[in-house]
């Protein structure tokens, strides 16, 4: 503090009036000792658990059709890097995906000699209609786990710089849904029905030196105005679990159309049309998770671009 402050000489008074614990500026208060500038624990302290159901379907090539599809339903949980409460913070890991579907296949259209349609067509017609092939790759996965943020962590353990809020009401883990809001200039939001309100802890901060007005902490309330998330008291880690909710899922579907024409016994001409993101489906990024940010719950621009067509021609030999 500066020497011109009106609090000069009031031992500990400013900390109390600001709502801070008495030992907030003590070095590493979580270790119960001020003899050392820091303390580190190196050991095999973390663990993780992974369970899954995996289903695969393979259709070998016949009648011009082949496909391979896999589905995984899984759950991966593990401890965090928070040494203070390692076991109590066990939760979903960042690479966890509840559902994952992957499929790829090709289908040769049934036209031409020895096929279902136009099998006895004239030679020049057969050269036009035969050997047309459709192909596709489809991937879908549920979202990645996300943690809510309530300012910086008071301990900054192993680079874990963010704190989590206090969970003071009901906030279901499936609340996230992409919504294009009509009341916020068309911004894309993820927590429809929840809004920011003044954090109740502001009233505990002194009005002297304009400290209360400088406090910009916010809480999250549901559609009934009941507070469900708030900032933890200064010097505390929030009670909400990490990786509480999942981000929007991701869908990718690419397709192609290929036509091959035999030129000689050893050469063939190929034309190919590729369609990237053929469904023109947007994949959304992660929402802003900081409850004190004016953009809380807002999603930026989609992470995938528009549908793209590309044309190729080549000679195979």
Task: Give the global pTM.
Answer: 0.76
Half-sphere exposure of 251 toward its Cβ, with a 13 Å CA cutoff?
A: 9
Residues 236, 30 contacting (CB under 8 angstroms)? no
Contact call for residues 165 and 221 (beta carbons, < 8 A): no
Chain center to CA of 74: 16
3-state secondary structure 252-312: EEEEEEEEEEEEECCEEEEEEEEEECCCCCCCCCCEECECCCCCECEECCCCCCCCEEEEE
| Integer Cα distance of 202 and 200 in angstroms | 5
Q: Is the separation of the CB atoms in 220 and 194 below 8 Å?
A: yes
pLDDT value at residue 3: 42
From start to end of the chain, where are the E strands? 48-62, 65-78, 91-92, 99-108, 132-141, 145-146, 152-157, 160-162, 166-167, 179-180, 188-189, 195-198, 218-221, 227-230, 245-246, 250-264, 267-276, 298-299, 308-316
User: Would you state the pLDDT for residue 106?
Assistant: 97
Tokens at residue 66, please?
Answer: 């082949």
CB 49 within 8 A of CB 23: no
Q: Between vectors from CA 84 to CA 83 and to CA 90, what angle results, nearest 5°? A: 70
User: Are the C-beta atoms of 136 and 256 separated by less than 8 Å?
Assistant: yes
- Kindly give the pairing relationship between strand 48-62 and strand 65-78: antiparallel
Average pLDDT, the chain: 83
Please report, for residues 121, 204, 289, the alpha-carbon distance to residue 292 in angstroms, rounded to integers and kept in the order given.
71, 17, 9
User: What is d(CA 225, CA 223) in angstroms, rounded to the nearest whole number?
Assistant: 5
| pLDDT score at 91 | 87
- Residue 58: CB atoms within 10 Å: 9
pLDDT of 120 reads 82
Per-residue pLDDT tens over the stretch 96-150: 999 999 999 999 999 988 888 888 888 888 888 888 999 999 999 999 999 999 9
Question: DSSP label at 68?
Answer: E
Residues of the chain with pLDDT under 50: 1-4, 7, 158
- pLDDT (0 to 100) of residue 36: 60
Do 232 and 163 contact (CB within 8 A), yes or no?
yes
SS3 26: coil
State the CB neighbour count (10 A cutoff) for residue 280. 12
Find the farthest-apart pair of alpha carbons in the chain and give their distance in angstroms, rounded.
104
């Amino acid at each position: 503090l500066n020497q011109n402050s009106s609090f000069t000489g009031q031992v500990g008074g400013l900390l109390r009036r600001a709502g801070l614990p008495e030992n907030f500026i003590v070095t590493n208060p979580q270790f119960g000792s001020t003899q050392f500038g820091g303390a580190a624990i190196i050991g095999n302290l973390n663990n993780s658990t992974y369970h899954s159901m995996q289903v695969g379907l393979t259709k070998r090539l016949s009648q011009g059709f082949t496909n391979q599809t896999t589905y995984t339903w899984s759950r991966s949980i593990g401890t965090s890097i928070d040494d203070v409460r390692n076991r109590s913070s066990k939760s979903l890991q960042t690479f966890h995906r509840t559902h994952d579907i992957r499929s790829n296949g090709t289908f040769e259209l049934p036209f031409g000699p020895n096929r279902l349609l136009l099998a006895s067509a004239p030679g020049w017609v057969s050269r036009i209609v035969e050997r047309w092939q459709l192909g596709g790759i489809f991937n879908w996965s549920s979202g990645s786990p996300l943690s809510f943020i309530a300012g910086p962590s008071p301990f900054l353990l192993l680079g874990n710089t963010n704190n989590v809020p206090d969970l003071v009401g009901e906030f279901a883990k499936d609340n996230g849904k992409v919504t294009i809001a009509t009341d916020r200039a068309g911004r894309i939001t993820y927590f429809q029905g929840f809004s920011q309100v003044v954090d109740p802890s502001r009233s505990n901060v002194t009005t002297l030196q304009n400290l209360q007005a400088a406090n910009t902490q916010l809480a999250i309330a549901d559609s009934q105005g009941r507070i469900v998330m708030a900032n933890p008291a200064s010097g505390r880690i929030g009670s909400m679990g990490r990786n509480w909710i999942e981000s929007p899922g991701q869908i990718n579907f690419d397709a192609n159309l290929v036509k091959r024409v035999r030129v000689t016994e050893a050469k063939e001409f190929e034309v190919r049309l590729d369609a990237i993101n053929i469904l023109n489906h947007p994949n959304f990024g992660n929402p802003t998770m900081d409850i004190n940010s004016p953009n809380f719950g807002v999603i930026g621009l989609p992470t995938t671009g528009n549908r793209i067509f590309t044309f190729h021609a080549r000679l195979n030999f």
